[in-house]
A and B are shown apart, each in its own frame.
Chain A
Amino acid sequence: MALLELKNISKIYGELKALDNVSLHVDKGEWVAIMGPSGSGKSTMMNIIGCMDKPTRGEVLLDGVDISRESSKRLTDIRRDKIGLIFQQFHMVNYLTAVENVMVSQYYHSMPDEAEALEALGRVGLRERARHLPSQLSGGEQQRVCVARALINHPELILADEPTGNLDEANENIVLDLFRQLHREGTTLIVVTHDPEVAEAAQRTIVLEHGRIAREVVNENFVE
């Protein structure tokens, strides 16, 4: 069953076609990687899937709802309820502690629950670092906090933009292991990356070039 369906979407900025008639189908529980060089339209696609932008043409169905024509207010609601975001630059509120950063996500979603937030930090192995400010955490630790923040509201879809781009190998593996866990639990994952290793961890890789899907690779070696 499709959680996400892009139907012939285009995003045009004046002369530039950032996305050109792209269609994509992602099932519930699937783990998809999106690859491509800079300027291939990865970020645009990510923004559209993440309800932060709308396509110029085409339809985007998320969980059966067409989000391509929704108001930005509705898009905010949908993003909050269905999507967990992870960014390359981590993006934490720098004056809030790790646990408070997780709770911010709860705050906008429903109710802040410190115990639950601590549990989520425990899951990413940062229970002990919960009271630290971002400046007191390493890059890997910050990204793990962001993973905890992304999964705290049990989203249908976790959308990660270069989640390991700023991490060393050890931390990259920790994050990928967390993704594997989430995948096993049935969470749909879409990971934008240009790191082949990260892409290989996914079930399927979509390669974008010049705003079009150049090819699609199914990972034969994928381990459940």
Chain B
Amino acid sequence: MTKRRMFLRMITASLLRRRSRMLIALLSIGIGATILAGMVTIYYDVPRQMRSQMRSYGANMLLLPEDGETLDSEKLQKVLGHIGEDALVGAAPYRYVRLDMTSRQQSFTSAGTDFEQVLKTSPYFSVEGEYPANTREVLVGREIAETIGVKVGSSMELTYQPAVKATGDPAEDWTPGAVLTGSAEGFSGGAVSVTATLDDAAKIREITVDASTQTPEYGGRAQEDRLFLKQFVGKSLPLKMGEDVDALTGATVTSEAVVQALNTARAATAAAQPHTVRYDVTGILVTGGEEEGYVFMSLEDMRALTGEDRLDVAELSVSADEEQLNAYADAIAASGEGVTARLVKRVTKSETAVLGKLQALVFLVTVVVLLLTMICVSTTMMAVVSERRREIGLRKALGASDNSIRVEFLGEGMFLGLLGGVLGAILGFVFAQVVSVNVFNSSITFQPLLLPATVIVSMAIAATSCLMPIKRAVAIDPALVLKGE
């Protein structure tokens, strides 16, 4: 038998045959290692866990179309491809329009959205009643509900004025890109018809005039005179002859007809296609925020009402730290889709701060627990040494050098550390899992590196804890112990 085998035999015998005392030491190391492994697991898992928890504070990223660009559902899906699938908690698209409730002479900002996504991005939304599940159902903000007196189960008629923008400024009261057509009576009763296309700022971009009924050498020139037509471009409706535009020389009546046709067309369009739909109110939204002043409906309903597939903004809830969010934003900007991603700083900053504090707390608890473990193991080993004074004395009398005594006790301590570490790594994972399931409602994955790490740390702690007791063991005088008392 080699010395090493005898060494191991002595150590294991000491631990196995002196169960009760060693069980206490093993227990303290095991518990320490359990907390260590559990805390480390939580420490590394907590940001992930907490980030998804934090997502209940609302969207932390906004997607907006860049100037001169538009956003629609298809483009949104493309842009979302730049965000990791695991990280994306939800992406709620919004289309805001002003809708009228003519019966009450009220108008509200209404949002078309995807309620399934809203549940994810704005979990703090509280709904009395139900979220709309079918078409022609709306969710009404509490403020509006109180103003107009609607309840869950009642219905309301909402009207969409296609040409009118929600700005309230008459100069811009035009749907960008709208095409206006109109006609007016010109010279000698002939009709002059005009078609004008508006740009994004609701100003005239293009104008074509049909003055074929007019005298070709006078009024007829209105359809081809570049100087005359050019002065309409860039102007907002309605127009005033002599102020906004000058009449064509010798064709005052025809010129007046062009202006009048445009003004009539504008008025006609504004009143032309109001689209009224009756909606059932399925729920009242209570948030305590500005959402209470909105009416929410599904994107499909919004599309049916306005005839447009457009989005104004998408609110994203992304489970990632600030750095990662910035990386996503950069990737989106670089994708050339014409979409800007903006971080909701208020949310991301506070998330980062809270997580940092939480991690610091977990770290502190771990350090304290390890210190306590060390004290506990040290005390137990101290007791073990006094209990084994005679044995240590005997070993010395039999020729054990101080180093042999050191190595034997260190060996026992480290063996305890090994057992406690393995025990702790397994129990610690279970502990972390229980904490995770109960506190964060999600399970965690086992980190294979945790086992060796816990074992090494436990062994190091056990060895450190043995230093003082070993010092005592070495100081034992064999002669004193062996005296016949």
> A residues bordering B, Cβ < 8 Å?
43, 47, 50, 52-53, 73, 76-77, 79-81, 85, 87-89, 91-96, 100, 103-109, 111-114, 133, 149, 161-162, 165
Contact = CB atoms under 8 A, between A and B. Distances in A.
Given A88-B484, A111-B2, A95 B13 contact: yes
Contacts of B18: 95
Contacts, number: 88
Contacts of B478: 52
B258 to A, nearest CB: 113
Contacts of B14: 95
Contact of A161 (B2, B5, B400, B484): B484
10 contacts: A52-B397, A85-B482, A91-B482, A100-B9, A103-B1, A104-B10, A108-B401, A112-B1, A149-B398, A161-B482
A89 B397 CA distance: 14
B390 interface: yes
Contacts of A43: 483-484
Nearest to B17: A95
Nearest to B404: A108
A108 B402 contact: no
Contact of A96 (B13, B390, B397, B402): B13
A121 to B, nearest CB: 15
Most chain B CB inside 10 Å of its own CB: which residue of A77, A96, A133: A96
B10 A47 contact: no
A104 B484 contact: no
Contacts of B396: 76
A80 B399 contact: yes
A96 B10 contact: yes
A85 B396 CA distance: 11
A79 B479 CA distance: 12
Most chain B CB inside 10 Å of its own CB: which residue of A43, A94, A104: A104
Contact of A107 (B6, B390, B391): B6
A53 B479 contact: yes
Nearest to A110: B3
A112 B3 contact: yes
B240 interface: no
B3 A94 contact: no
Contacts of B13: 95-96, 100
A136 to B, nearest CB: 12
Contact of B10 (A73, A100, A149): A100
Nearest to A81: B399
B395 interface: yes
B427 interface: no
Contacts of A113: 1
Contacts of B479: 47, 50, 52-53
B375 interface: no
A212 B6 CA distance: 44
B394 interface: yes
